[in-house]
Amino acid sequence: MTHINLRNVTFNRKLEVDKHRNMSGGSASRKRHRDVIQNVTISISDGERVGLLGPNGAGKTTLLRLMAGIFRPDKGSVVREGEVSTFLDGGFGFDQQLTGRSNCESRAIMARMRGVRAKEMVKWVEEFTELGDYFDQPVRTYSTGMIMRLVFAIGTAQTHQILLIDEGLSTADAHFQTKALGRLREMYNNAPIIVLASHSIALLKQHCQRGIVIIDGQVAFDGTLESASEFYSQHPRGNHEVSRVW
C-alpha cells in the first residue's frame, strides 16, 4: 500500500547567519546549523491529497525533498512505499546548447529509464509539446513558451504513485494550457498520493482534502484543507502549538 511516514523528523541546514567585514574590507560570512524542519511527524496514506501551506521559508519545499529522499533526515525517519515523482524545479539538468530531444533523452536516463521505456518517453514528449522541427533544435533557440512546454512535458511524462509538487505546475500559452490542464487532471486523478505545496489556497482547494500548515519548520496545523486554510489565514506566522483535527 502506498504511503509516506515521517516520524520525528529533524533536518538542519547550514545557513549564512553572521556577515562580517574581512581584512580587505569585503564581506565574509559564517555558517551556522539551523533546524529548518523540527520534529515533524506526518503520516500520509493511499488515496490522500495533501496541501502544504506556510509562509516563504517555512520549510515546505524542504519537507517535500525529505519525502522524496533527496534530503535525508538528521533525526527521525522517513519511510516511503511507492515510486515518487517530484515537480520541484522542472528545468533542472537542462542544457541550452543541446536539442529538446537530447535533453529529453538525458532526463530519461537520469530517471533511470532504459530501452523502450526511454524511447516511448521521448516520443510522448515530442508529440505532447507539438514543437515540430524545433524538437531537434538547440533549446537556446526556443521562446519562453516553448521552453515551458518542454519543461512541462518532460516533467509530467513519467508519473509515479506519489506526486510531490511545489507551487503547482506552470503551463504555457492558452492553446497548450487546455492540453496541459487535461494532463494534470489525469495525473492528479491517477496518483494514489499527492502532496502539493502552494501559497494558492484556490489551487489547493481544487486538488486536496487535507491541509498541513508548516510554520518555522514545524507542523502548526494538520486537518481538513478548509480548516487548515482558515488556520493559516488567522496565523500566517504565529502559533506554533500543534493542532490536529484530522
Partner 1 sequence: MNTFFSPLNQIVVERRIWSHLGWRDLKSRYVRTIIGPWWSAANLITVVFGMSLAVGLLSNTRTLSEAPRIALVLALWTLISSNLVEAVDLFEGEKGLLLNMEIAEVSLIARMVWRNTLIFAHNIAVIILVFLIAGQDLNTRLLILLPIAFVISAGTLFPAYAFARSIFFLRDLKTILPSVIQLVFFLTPILWIPPSSGPMAVIFAINPAGWVIEFARLFILENIFDSYLLVKMLMFTFASLLLISLSAKSMYSIRKLL
Interface residues toward partner 1, by CB under 8 A: 12-14, 31, 65, 68-72, 86, 88-89, 91-93, 95, 97-98, 102, 106, 109-110, 112, 138
CB of 120 or CB of 230, closer to partner 1: 120
Distances (CA, A) of 242 to 132, 195, 208: 52, 20, 20
**Under 8 Å between Cβ of 197 and 68:** no
Q: Amino acid identity, residue 138?
A: P
Give least dist CB 33 to partner 1, A: 8
Cell numbers placing 99: 536539442
Give least dist CB 128 to partner 1, A: 21
Please state, in angstroms and rounded to a whole number, the distance separating the CA atoms of residues 61 and 81: 20
Give least dist CB 11 to partner 1, A: 8
Give least dist CB 85 to partner 1, A: 11
100: which residues sit within 8 A by CB, 6+ positions away?
125, 126, 129, 131, 134, 135, 136, 137, 139, 142, 150
CB of 9 or CB of 201, closer to partner 1: 9
Give least dist CB 94 to partner 1, A: 8
Alpha carbon 194 to its chain's center: 10
CB of 168 or CB of 236, closer to partner 1: 168
Give least dist CB 183 to partner 1, A: 20
Q: For the chain, what is the total number of helices (H) and then of strands (E)?
A: 7, 10
Q: How many CB atoms lie within 10 A of CB 205?
A: 14
